Amino acid sequence: MMRSIEELRRAMRDETRDLAPRVTFAQVRQRARRRRFTLLATFLAAVLVPVGATVTALAGSPAGPGPLPPPARSGAAPVPSDFATGTEFPGAGEIVRTGIAYGADEEFVLRYSGDGMNGVWSGLYNPKTSQYRRFEGGLTPAPGQFSTILEIEDRRGGIVDYGVVGAAGVRVEVTSDGRQATASTAEVPGMPGTTLFWVRRTGTAVQPTGAPAGGPTPDLVFTARDANGAVIATGDGVQRSDGSIVIKDTAVRIGDLMPTGVSLADGGKLVLWFAGDDRSTGLFAGRDTGGGEPVELRGLGRFNRPPFDIGFYYGRFEFDEPGGTHVVLWVYVGPASGVALSAPVSTGHGTLRWSAHPELRIAWISGVPAQETSKVTGVATDAAGAVVADTKDR
């Protein structure tokens, strides 16, 4: 049964209301069995424009990083595309360059994703190479509320919290351990009632998912106020979004490459792999051109090791094929005997097993018309052929 956008939002809030930033195995299994709901993004049909921004450190914070000046700009915001390393930051319209430096050479940026599922994407831009890398998650607020608030560590001693508020022209205040700052904001033209915000601070960072229990947790409160100072919304749930990039920068490949044999619109064939460490791993998609290592296209998600066996994960992933059709993927983890996808129109399908954890399988289906990818469904079955998991339940 298809859910409405409002039902998905309500379910997402219910699933995550009491979860700590570090999600435990017991929490995931309990909530997955109760509702088996995956975070799905809602529509953010707008284009972000470049905005001059200041970077704010929390007033009264202990000695640490201060504000970083925005990097010098040269002409219009660059247009992202495939680069030599295969990294890309796809989307629609201009880039919001926050001026927040990340490590030695990159800058924190945001962009409207250009589709109806992901809202605003965040990532990194390297002015020296004109390359982009994308963080995890999308920003999609309900009216009058905060989106999921995301966080990264900037590798310069600072922490960056950011998100979207479902209200226009608001001021966002951030309180951390009793210290307060006003976040930088940007409008989202074409979508009335939306404000993008970000703030750089010091203090305690949210722990990555899967981190050992007992670590410090930040005391964070986000408050959105209108022009008269009235409170519109508050938020306090924060999730890390830099896990896949941290893994990518430090990780080693785990298990075998998983070729699909499906041709991609920009050349080469779609191949998948995992890379990470003994605690967590990221799933990556790339292009195999037959000439050495595959070219990375993008990260598809992050998993604990071992991954939680909760059935179908995340929602679908799509890649362009020659001729305008799409190949669609779903990830499944569990003891099922078989996993398969179907669609009203397709040309091929298959299932890949991760050699490091055979219960994790990636089902794919190719030749799906672009306008019909939402009709792709999948089931997992036991040895007797009975359905034990269904993508329609996600």
**139-142: long-range contacts (C-beta < 8 A, 24 or more apart)?**
139/44, 139/110, 139/163, 139/164, 139/196, 140/41, 140/42, 140/43, 140/44, 140/164, 141/165, 141/166, 141/194, 142/6, 142/9, 142/42, 142/166
Total tally of structural domains belonging to the chain: 2
Burial code (b: 16+ CB inside 10 Å, e: under 16) for 352-379 equals bebebbeebbbbbbbbbeeeebeebbbb
pLDDT in tens, 59-76: 333 333 333 333 333 223
Q: Is 165 domain-assigned? A: yes
| Inter-residue contact 221 to 236 (CB < 8 Å) | yes
Q: Is 269 domain-assigned? A: yes
Tell whether 274 and 217 lie within a shared domain: no
Helix or strand holding residue 248 (H, E): helix 243-250
Q: Is 67 domain-assigned? A: no
Domain boundary among 242, 262, 279: 242
Does residue 373 register a pLDDT over 80?
yes
Q: Is 76 domain-assigned? A: no
Preceding omega of 344 cis (within 30 degrees of 0) = no
| Inter-residue contact 32 to 311 (CB < 8 Å) | yes
Q: Is 49 domain-assigned? A: no
Mean of the per-residue pLDDT values of the chain: 76
Does residue 21 register a pLDDT over 80?
no
| Inter-residue contact 393 to 358 (CB < 8 Å) | no
- 356 token code pair: 């490091």
Q: Is 182 domain-assigned? A: yes
Domain boundary among 221, 242, 263: 242
| Inter-residue contact 343 to 368 (CB < 8 Å) | yes
Q: Is 16 domain-assigned? A: no
pTM beyond 0.95, yes or no: no
Does residue 35 register a pLDDT over 50?
no
Domain boundary among 195, 213, 242: 242
Please give the average per-residue pLDDT across 211-217, as a whole number.
59
Residues forming a β-bridge with 352:
362
Please give the average per-residue pLDDT across 376-394, as a whole number.
92
Residue 210, domain extent: 96-242
pLDDT in tens, 118-138: 778 888 988 887 788 888 888
CA dihedral (61, 66, 69, 70) in degrees, to 10, reads -60
d(CA 196, CA 161) in angstroms, rounded, equals 11
Q: Is 48 domain-assigned? A: no
Q: Of 202, 108, 95, 204, which is closest to residue 158 (Cα–Cα)?
A: 202
Predicted local confidence at residue 129, as pLDDT = 79
d(CA 153, CA 198) in angstroms, rounded, equals 13
Helix, strand, or coil (residue 15):
helix
